[in-house]
Amino acid sequence: MNAPQLVLASTSPFRRELLARLGLPFSIANPAVDEFPLPGESPESTALRLSEAKARAVAANYPEALIIGSDQVACLDDQIFGKPGTHENAVKQLQSMRGRSVNFFTGLCLLNTKTGQAHIRGVPTLVTFRDLTDLEIENYLMRDQPYNCAGSAKSEGLGIAIIAKMDGSDPNALIGLPLIALCDLLKIERYSVLKQ
């Protein structure tokens, strides 16, 4: 029996690069989902809901596939930091996070479109940022331009220089796709990552 098609419901180049590390064939689909949190929704709930929403948004086009959806939300105290979009927003985000620890919560969904079964996991990472000066923030943003990254930091790039420490179970989660959890979910679906 042939393995189901693997589909990444994301146009993120970072998630694409991460999934490619597993050496599996996969397709890309644009989920086109509104990524704003609902009123009163916790950061964890937002990330989990959006990861499933992204997978389900493309499901109709792939009737016998395993679809991967993922979303990340950064949170400090009660403030949620999404993708800054602009330089000005990124400056504000990093200024408010400097010298502090920020929770990055990554939601992951693996949807089997044949059965309708969705497996959902949340992977938290606590990131402590260095106490950056305004000039360091400007220099970082001009070089790395992380305007499409939650929390305005790309740990896989120069962003590692603005981070003092990270605590989490999967270093890939901070980049946007928790591969350890994904391998667990693929195993549940009897999809072998280590097949010959």
Catalytic positions are 71
The residues pairing with 107 across neighbouring beta strands, listed in sequence order, are 71, 122
Q: Sort residue 46 into left (φ over 0), alpha (ψ -120 to 50) or beta.
A: alpha
- Spatial neighbors of 149 by CB under 8 A, at least 6 apart, are 14, 83, 84, 159, 176
